[in-house]
Amino acid sequence: GAGVSQSPSNKVTEKGKDVELRCDPISGHTALYWYRQSLGQGLEFLIYFQGNSAPDKSGLPSDRFSAERTGGSVSTLTIQRTQQEDSAVYLCASSPSGLGNTIYFGEGSWLTVV
Partner 1 sequence: AQSVTQLGSHVSVSEGALVLLRCNYSSSVPPYLFWYVQYPNQGLQLLLKYTTGATLVKGINGFEAEFKKSETSFHLTKPSAHMSDAAEYFCAVSVIYNQGGKLIFGQGTELSVKP
Q: Which residues bind partner 1 (CB under 8 A)?
A: 4, 30-31, 33, 42-43, 45, 48, 50, 55-56, 91, 93, 95, 97-108
Amino acid letter, residue 96: P
Amino acid letter, residue 16: G
| Cβ nearer to partner 1, comparing 14 with 40 | 40
For residue 65, the minimal CB distance to partner 1 (Å) is 17
The CA distance from 86 to 83, in Å, is 5
| Cβ nearer to partner 1, comparing 77 with 106 | 106
Amino acid letter, residue 8: P
For residue 91, the minimal CB distance to partner 1 (Å) is 6
| Cβ nearer to partner 1, comparing 74 with 103 | 103
| Cβ nearer to partner 1, comparing 16 with 28 | 28
Helices (H) and strands (E) in the chain, counts: 0, 11
For residue 76, the minimal CB distance to partner 1 (Å) is 18
The radius of gyration of the chain from alpha carbons, rounded to an integer in Å, stands at: 13
Report CA 81 to chain centroid distance, whole Å. 17
For residue 56, the minimal CB distance to partner 1 (Å) is 7
The CA distance from 49 to 79, in Å, is 17
